[in-house]
Amino acid sequence: EVQLVESGGGLVQPGGSLRLSCAPSGFTFSTYWMAWVRQAPGKGLEWVANIKHDGSDKYYVDSVKGRFTISKDNAKNSLYLQMNSLRVEDTAVYFCARHGSRVFDQWGQGTLVTVSS
């Protein structure tokens, strides 16, 4: 059974940093693209970033470019999202998702990031 388990969310002040982690199981992590998708409270879904299976290519939504970094450690079977210079508008549930057949075919349960003073 495929599972994705996020961790690392919490309350942080504007301008602060946070690192999200995602622990996959049930599939060969090193062969898949992976992504982060977020959902602000009461709002729709927004793709944030994705990364090629070997970590060689990364893509970001414009609003997080230069502030967020997606990374993938195939040896440790882990996906990360380093978030710096956080803004109030980054407040959301962040989902880790497997990117297969150019869609997000498996999702974690999400971790809440709250940016507030």
- Residues lying near other proteins in the complex (CB under 8 A) are found at 35, 37, 44-47, 50, 59, 61-62, 95, 101-110
Q: Closest distance between other proteins and the C-beta of residue 42, in Å?
A: 11
Nearer to other proteins, 84 or 112 (CB): 112
Report which of 99, 82, 90 is spatially closest to residue 24, judged by C-alpha positions.
99
Least distance from C-beta 5 to other proteins, angstroms? 11
Q: How far is the CB of 75 from other proteins (least distance, A)?
A: 26
Among residues 13 and 109, whose Cβ is nearest to other proteins?
109
3-state secondary structure (DSSP) of residue 102: coil
Question: Nearer to other proteins by C-beta: 43 or 76?
Answer: 43
CA distance 65 to 82: 12
> For residues 36 and 81, is the Cβ–Cβ distance under 8 A?
yes
d(CA 28, CA 106) in angstroms, rounded, equals 13
